[in-house]
Amino acid sequence: MLITFEGGEGCGKSYQSEILYRRLAELAVPTVLTHEPGGTPFGEKITKLLKWDEKQKLSALTETLLFNASRSHLIENIIKPALRTNTIVICDRFTDSTIVYQGYSRGLDIKLIESINQAATQCIVPDLTFLLDLPIEIGLSRKGTEKPDRFHKENLAFHRRVRNGFLKQAGLEPSRWFYIDASQSREKIAGLIWDKIAGLLAKRS
């Protein structure tokens, strides 16, 4: 099972994916936790270019291709081997982020992005996607003194398009997406996530 976490800046994806991973590990459920962009040493090198190299001005297409170069390597080296052995894979961001950030927010053709995504993932799609949604002002404020990357530095209009893009994506596949109001407490959110996962595990067993 491939489980992904999506949402705008500061929504708590990384925290909640880590909590879910720990909970499954405590139950001895075979689980792998990874993230995008990156997840492999090769992918982390691409991440530095994408998020932190301020000398380079990257087009939406260049960003999409770089994200998918990292993604393809992650699929081959982490995700596919794990899924073959009945291991649950939890991924902090996946293809939906590329559709939202480079498509809805940057304006690149979404059909083109979907084709590139499919090639990189070899048509692997998430079984379940958690959308952690909250007002952009709250999300950006949660970053605090953390050094902003290329995407965090974008204007409010960009981040509004990100939020609206995720909501649109979720509306297109309601059976895959699980919406969560991320303005709730961390404990409440973790509880909602676990209730959903526990139900899925019970059905599969």
Sequence ranges of the domains in the chain: 2-204
Q: Residue 144's pLDDT is what?
A: 67
The residue behind tokens 């950006």 is 140
- Note the pLDDT of residue 145: 66
Low-confidence ranges of the chain (pLDDT < 50): none
Rounded to 5 degrees, what are φ and ψ at 147?
Answer: -60, 125
CA-to-CA distance for 32 and 40, rounded, in angstroms?
13
**DSSP sequence for 98-153:** HIIIIIIIT---HHHHHHHHHHHHTT---SEEEEEE--HHHHHHHTTTSPP-TTTT
Burial of 58 (0-12, 13-18, 19+ CB in 10 A): middle
C-beta separation of 128 from 1 below 8 A: yes
User: What's the CA gap between 95 and 116, in Å, rounded?
Assistant: 10
30 by DSSP, 3-state: which?
Answer: coil
Identify the CATH number of the domain defined by range 2-204: 3.40.50.300
Q: Which residues, in sequence order, are bridge partners of residue 72?
A: none
pLDDT value of position 152: 86
Question: CA 199 to CA 110: how far, in whole Å?
Answer: 33
Determine if the pTM surpasses 0.85: yes
pLDDT at 56: 83
